[in-house]
Chains A and B, each alone.
Chain A
């Protein structure tokens, strides 16, 4: 091949580069390792983590069973190693499954349009804020303090240089968004209020009342969810103008924080304002049904600096995992899964001092009387149980409180052990 190009050695491929830009050393990276050494390396790393523990952590990342079939499907080379479906004729597999995904997200959330995924729930929140600003042509955004603290931090990072001032709405004594505080801060400058349900404390927010207040001022209601499993039983946010959330619960491994899969969904009338990829139904030259990426003129590769967002790569493979999960569980399964979560959490909560008195799904806040949440967690670790999240790091006023989550994966015996740890 070198001969065909008229070169003598492969070094000739780079020797034309000036010496002051070429790297003439050797990369300080150890020699290539065999498969077995690499597998071994990660086994050792795994052993340095929590192996064989049961966990009561939630707070935005949830432990749910992953059906075996999920990996079977996504491990197929045609899904795993395929590219973004820009060439519709040879990507109907990906496009069809994304169309199914978009449909299921609409069915789940009560919205009319959903895109093909965002990076994760946390980065979808500022995208929704930016949408609301574009739609209402107002610049201020209100956000509930009961939205996941790290999600709020991301919102802050994104909005700080786009002329979008943020203001927080506090929570009332029941742990839900303070409607009086909202009434006070709502005015005609506000583009949207962002609220999470179930909220970070696990409680269901009062969306109906919020919608009335917000609509009266011409602002939008943006609803966030971090626990997708809740939508199997709780009323979807039909009052929302935009819904964003995290689908990690649907067969995505917790994987120390990522990759996950975010969604953004909205009403038909806002379809041109939604960021990210959209798959649409159409026909081919012979009149048969086919799917393709559509409304690309919103996106960066065409609109460049006027794009709805800069997003290019999304989370397609994980959206496929979630699609397979939703397919296997189906209509009844998501409901049964949600009821199991509800039951496990309420069983555990029944034995503990609850901090807030309002309906919750599978997470709840308890007060650690006498000892600190950290002390209780230390005790539980001795029994190979990882307790809940001490809230002091995010809510200084709740330093003696802990956020616990119980899902279908938590055993009764472990829950009894947690309850005991609180008593003694």
Chain B
């Protein structure tokens, strides 16, 4: 049988190592304009390596074709809607990619003289200022590399403040609806975690909170709107309860797409929060990163910010390292600068009004989905949804179908699944966040797909249970992958096992 390259679903594409040929190369360096050093003479024979065993040897074109084919096996925002809750998969504007590659900006070395870095420093200052305005907070650091990194930075600052007052205290309160990074972060800062149960509206229970906030509590990590997409209506009281006992409030800003221009955490009592620039501010996910976890703080925490900090001296920016109470560095250099450029470009393109409008559009889209799907899926909580809505798989479970199965069947309809089984407080959760990017046409297509699947669950559940059927690979065996992990390619004596 002739193997042909046809559509992407059936094309063969081995790994790079399986299609290498000795001597092939995809690069060309200029000729040396200095005498060539002999590595063994210069470094000592024992310090020189043998060739890199197994490393690929392919031509430039083979490399391009390989990666192009791989790319066709991916779903992406450019192709279709991602209803992933709390991920905010919005359009990644291409102008961001262009400006981030501007030569004087992309090639700047972090240690180059300040006199030759004013442009970069101005960008950092402009973004810090814009984010402070958006969050209603007093100062911003752009050093952390991602949301979890920002959480770590924020909790470290809380600890530093409390230590300066004589007692770091012992524990951090985390709602049972929180993202997993929250408790993991608290542990890394030397605190223990106390989980607090949500009430029947999916929100922090004030009564429970008042009982558990003691002088041993350093702070509360809260997401607002929370992971069921609902605004914490008691947020002011919650912050007051913590403050009354000398504790602080950390807000996980993953859901900021619901608040920009509509509500400002600094105004309702939050002491420190992080923002995910790769969520709310449109920087691309790139298959898992990079991100940037900007952290905004209230005045009380500004002395503890990671250093260095920008300082204006005359008409020039200067890096100030004289920060006696700073928590130190959370990473080398200044932050994921390339990501900051993209976030700033996004903010500039929208402007104040545009940012608020984007929020309203996001809320509209989420509520539209919620209203039209309510007859078919069990709504988890009745409180008004903001930018995302959460259903439970209770109705489908009666037919032996769970949220994971519905999610896989959605793939056959041409969509990426929603967030499956999170938050943990909802049984069989389906968390859906369309973002403001999606127009009515795509939303209707998504809704129609979900309704069709709901019918299939009742009439032909097998179809849903064994989904997806139309993808390049069928359901993947995650059990064997975990029992016998194979995490790198090793030369095999038998012929390649490329999928076909």
A–B direct touch in complex (beta carbons closer than 8 A):
yes
Q: Mark A275-292, 1 if CB is under 8 A from B, else 0.
A: 001111111111011111
Least Cβ–Cβ distance between A31 and chain B, in angstroms = 4
Please give, as numbers and ranges, the residues of chain B lying within 8 Å of A14 by CB-CB distance: 262-263, 360, 363
CA distance A305 to B98 in the complex (A): 40
Please give, as numbers and ranges, the residues of chain B lying within 8 Å of A10 by CB-CB distance: 360-361, 363-364
Contact A253 B363 (CB under 8 A): no
Please give, as numbers and ranges, the residues of chain B lying within 8 Å of A233 by CB-CB distance: 39, 43, 48-49
Instruction: Using known A-B contacts A67-B27, A280-B487, determine if residue A386 contacts B116 with beta carbons closer than 8 Å.
Output: yes
Please give, as numbers and ranges, the residues of chain A lying within 8 Å of B109 by CB-CB distance: 55, 57, 61, 63, 254, 256, 386
CA distance A158 to B13 in the complex (A): 42
CA distance A7 to B190 in the complex (A): 48
A116 contacts partner chain B, Cβ-Cβ < 8 Å: yes
Least Cβ–Cβ distance between B256 and chain A, in angstroms = 13
Please give, as numbers and ranges, the residues of chain A lying within 8 Å of B261 by CB-CB distance: 23, 27
CA distance A20 to B237 in the complex (A): 11
Partner of B58, one of A103, A327, A336: A327
Instruction: Using known A-B contacts A39-B98, A343-B34, determine if residue A330 contacts B58 with beta carbons closer than 8 Å.
Output: yes
Contact B262 A23 (CB under 8 A): yes
Contact A157 B44 (CB under 8 A): no
Contact B37 A342 (CB under 8 A): yes
B338 contacts partner chain A, Cβ-Cβ < 8 Å: yes
Contact A47 B104 (CB under 8 A): yes
Instruction: Using known A-B contacts A5-B368, A32-B354, determine if residue A82 contacts B25 with beta carbons closer than 8 Å.
Output: no
A383 contacts partner chain B, Cβ-Cβ < 8 Å: no
A108 contacts partner chain B, Cβ-Cβ < 8 Å: yes
Least Cβ–Cβ distance between B10 and chain A, in angstroms = 11
Contact B329 A30 (CB under 8 A): no
Interface centre among A259, A277, A315, A333 (most CB of B within 10 A): A259
Partner of A312, one of B25, B48, B181: B181
A370 contacts partner chain B, Cβ-Cβ < 8 Å: no
CA distance A54 to B226 in the complex (A): 50
B268 contacts partner chain A, Cβ-Cβ < 8 Å: yes
A417 contacts partner chain B, Cβ-Cβ < 8 Å: no
Least Cβ–Cβ distance between A413 and chain B, in angstroms = 8
Partner of A157, one of B23, B24, B156, B290: B156
A119 contacts partner chain B, Cβ-Cβ < 8 Å: yes
B355 contacts partner chain A, Cβ-Cβ < 8 Å: yes
Q: Mark A391-424, 1 if CB is under 8 A from B, else 0.
A: 0000000000000000010011001000000000
B89 contacts partner chain A, Cβ-Cβ < 8 Å: yes
Partner of A307, one of B33, B70, B184, B349: B184
Instruction: Using known A-B contacts A23-B264, A61-B110, A82-B76, determine if residue A278 contacts B485 with beta carbons closer than 8 Å.
Output: yes
Instruction: Using known A-B contacts A27-B261, A82-B75, A256-B333, determine if residue A50 contacts B104 with beta carbons closer than 8 Å.
Output: yes
Please give, as numbers and ranges, the residues of chain B lying within 8 Å of A215 by CB-CB distance: none
Contact B110 A161 (CB under 8 A): no
Please give, as numbers and ranges, the residues of chain B lying within 8 Å of A8 by CB-CB distance: none
Contact A343 B35 (CB under 8 A): yes
Of the candidate stretches B142-150, B198-206, B453-461, the one touching chain A is B142-150
Interface centre among A35, A258, A281 (most CB of B within 10 A): A258
Contact A46 B384 (CB under 8 A): no
B210 contacts partner chain A, Cβ-Cβ < 8 Å: no
Please give, as numbers and ranges, the residues of chain A lying within 8 Å of B117 by CB-CB distance: 49-50, 256
Instruction: Using known A-B contacts A85-B287, A90-B471, A305-B186, determine if residue A340 contacts B333 with beta carbons closer than 8 Å.
Output: no
Contact A288 B367 (CB under 8 A): no
B97 contacts partner chain A, Cβ-Cβ < 8 Å: yes
Partner of A82, one of B15, B134, B285: B285
B5 contacts partner chain A, Cβ-Cβ < 8 Å: no
A4 contacts partner chain B, Cβ-Cβ < 8 Å: yes
Partner of B349, one of A22, A32, A97: A32
Please give, as numbers and ranges, the residues of chain B lying within 8 Å of A103 by CB-CB distance: 15, 17, 54, 488-489
- Chain A residues bordering chain B, tally (CB within 8 A): 190
Query: Chain B: interface residue count, which band?
Result: 35 or more
Instruction: Using known A-B contacts A21-B235, A42-B345, A81-B92, determine if residue A49 contacts B332 with beta carbons closer than 8 Å.
Output: no
**4 tightest CB-CB pairs across the interface, nearest first?**
A317-B286, A46-B104, A257-B333, A77-B78
CA distance A277 to B186 in the complex (A): 20
A146 contacts partner chain B, Cβ-Cβ < 8 Å: no
Contact A284 B475 (CB under 8 A): yes
Instruction: Using known A-B contacts A300-B181, A310-B188, A412-B34, determine if residue A89 contacts B97 with beta carbons closer than 8 Å.
Output: no
Of the candidate stretches B295-303, B393-401, B425-433, B492-500, the one touching chain A is B492-500
Interface residues of A in 87-106 (CB under 8 A from B): 87-94, 96-100, 102-104, 106
Please give, as numbers and ranges, the residues of chain A lying within 8 Å of B291 by CB-CB distance: 313
B445 contacts partner chain A, Cβ-Cβ < 8 Å: no
Contact B480 A324 (CB under 8 A): no
Contact A27 B352 (CB under 8 A): yes
Which chain A residue has the least Cβ–Cβ distance from B152? A310
B133 contacts partner chain A, Cβ-Cβ < 8 Å: yes
Contact A5 B367 (CB under 8 A): yes
B391 contacts partner chain A, Cβ-Cβ < 8 Å: no
Contact A283 B477 (CB under 8 A): yes
Contact B334 A49 (CB under 8 A): no
Which chain A residue has the least Cβ–Cβ distance from B329? A153
Least Cβ–Cβ distance between B210 and chain A, in angstroms = 20
Interface residues of B in 441-473 (CB under 8 A from A): 466, 468, 471-473
CA distance A331 to B13 in the complex (A): 21
Contact A316 B76 (CB under 8 A): no
Least Cβ–Cβ distance between A156 and chain B, in angstroms = 6
Please give, as numbers and ranges, the residues of chain B lying within 8 Å of A30 by CB-CB distance: 348, 351-352
Please give, as numbers and ranges, the residues of chain B lying within 8 Å of A234 by CB-CB distance: 43, 47-49
Of the candidate stretches A120-128, A137-145, A167-175, A177-185, the one touching chain B is A120-128
Known: A41-B348, A150-B332, A290-B473. 9 other contacts (CB 8 A): A46-B103, A71-B101, A73-B67, A82-B75, A153-B329, A256-B334, A294-B481, A313-B291, A343-B34
Please give, as numbers and ranges, the residues of chain B lying within 8 Å of A87 by CB-CB distance: 75, 407, 411, 416-417
Least Cβ–Cβ distance between B154 and chain A, in angstroms = 12
B406 contacts partner chain A, Cβ-Cβ < 8 Å: no
